[in-house]
Homo-oligomer: A and B are copies of this chain.
Amino acid sequence: MSDRTELRRKPDRTVADRDAIHAVLDEGLVAHVGLIAGNGDTAHPVVIPMLYARDGNVMYLHGSPASRLLRTAKKGAEVCVTVTLLDALVLARSGLNHSMNYRSVIVMGTATEITDREKKVAALNRFVDHTIPGRSAQIRAAHVAEVKATTVLVLPLNECSMKARTTGVVDEPDDLDEPTWAGLIPLGLAIGEPQPDEGSAGDTVPGHVAFWSRGPGQLNGRPADPERTG
C-alpha cells in the first residue's frame, strides 16, 4: 500500500489483507479502468468498464490495438483500476445513515504491454478462465493472427488497496425508536438459465456452464461449491 492508495476517509473501512484483495479481484467480472485523456488544459479523466483477469500478483487488461485506452495505457500512462462488489443495501432510520455494504479494490500504477507470444497466449487463457473457470480447456487454441490482433497489458498489484463495509445498520441513538423498518437488503449476482447459441454442440450443458457461479450461492440459488462435470 502506498500513500496514494491509502484511503483518507473512513479508515475503518480499509482492508490491508492481500488474500482479501485477491478474493475480490477473483470474484469480480468487470473492472472500471480510469486514465487521463488529453493533455494540459484538455486533460480529463475517462473511466471505461472492461473485462480483466488476475494472475498471481498481476492483473491483465486486453482489447483491440486500436483502443484509445489501451494505446494510452501501454505508453506508460498511469491507470487506476477499480473492482467493486455490492453486497447489501443498508436501510437506516435516517436518510444520511443509509449506505451500502460492499467490497472494493483499487489498483494504481502503469501497465506494460505483453509482447512475448507464449506469455500473451497464457494471459489470454487467464481472461477466459477468470470469467468462466475451466473454459479455456474446452475451446480451440487462439490462432496466430488472433493473438497478434490483440493488445494485452499487465498491471502489477503492488499499489493496491481495499475498502469494505460489512456491518449492519448504524443509526444515531436518538433514532432507535423511529417507527421505520431498518435493516439490510442482501444483494448478489443472479444467474439465469444458460441460453445455447443456435447450432451449439450437443444437447448437454457442460458443467463449467451449468454450474457457473460467483459469490454466495444462497443468493443466486446455486450451490457455493458445485461438483464440476466438465
- For residue A212, CB closer than 8 A to chain B, the reply is yes
Q: How far is the CA of A178 from the CA of B196 in the complex (A)?
A: 14
A15 close to B (CB within 8 Å): no
- Inter-chain contacts of A9 with B (CB < 8 A): 63-64, 66-68
Q: Are B169 and A190 in contact (CB under 8 A)?
A: no
Contact with B along A159-191 (1 / 0, CB 8 A): 000000000110100011011111111111111
Among B82, B93, B136, B206, which residue has its beta carbon within 8 angstroms of that of A48? B82
Chain A stretch 24-54: residues in CB contact (< 8 A) with chain B: 29-30, 32-37, 43-49, 51
Residue A30 contacts which of B33, B94, B102, B168 (CB distance < 8 angstroms)? B102
By secondary structure, the A interface counts as mixed
List A residues 186-209 near B (Cβ within 8 Å): 186-202, 204-206, 209
| Complex interface: chain B residues within 8 A of A193 (CB) | 186
Mind listing 8 A-B residue pairs with CB under 8 Å? A4-B44, A32-B32, A93-B140, A95-B146, A181-B202, A183-B196, A190-B219, A190-B221
Please determine whether A178 and B84 come into contact, CB atoms closer than 8 angstroms. no
Contacts of A64 in B (CB 8 A): 9
Considering only residues 139-163 of chain A, those with a C-beta below 8 Å from chain B are 139-140, 142-143, 146, 150
Number of A interface residues in the complex (CB < 8 A): 100
By Cβ-Cβ distance, the 4 closest A-B pairs, closest first, are A186-B192, A32-B32, A34-B47, A190-B190
Check if A46 sits within 8 Å of B34, measured CB to CB.
Answer: yes
From 67 to 102 in chain A, residues with beta carbon under 8 angstroms from any chain B beta carbon are 67-68, 78-82, 84, 86, 88-89, 91-96, 98-100, 102
Chain B residues closer than 8 Å to A37, beta-carbon distance: 4
Decide: A46 and B80 in contact? CB cutoff 8 A.
yes
Question: A32-B32, A45-B79 in contact; A201/B178 too (CB < 8 A)?
Answer: yes
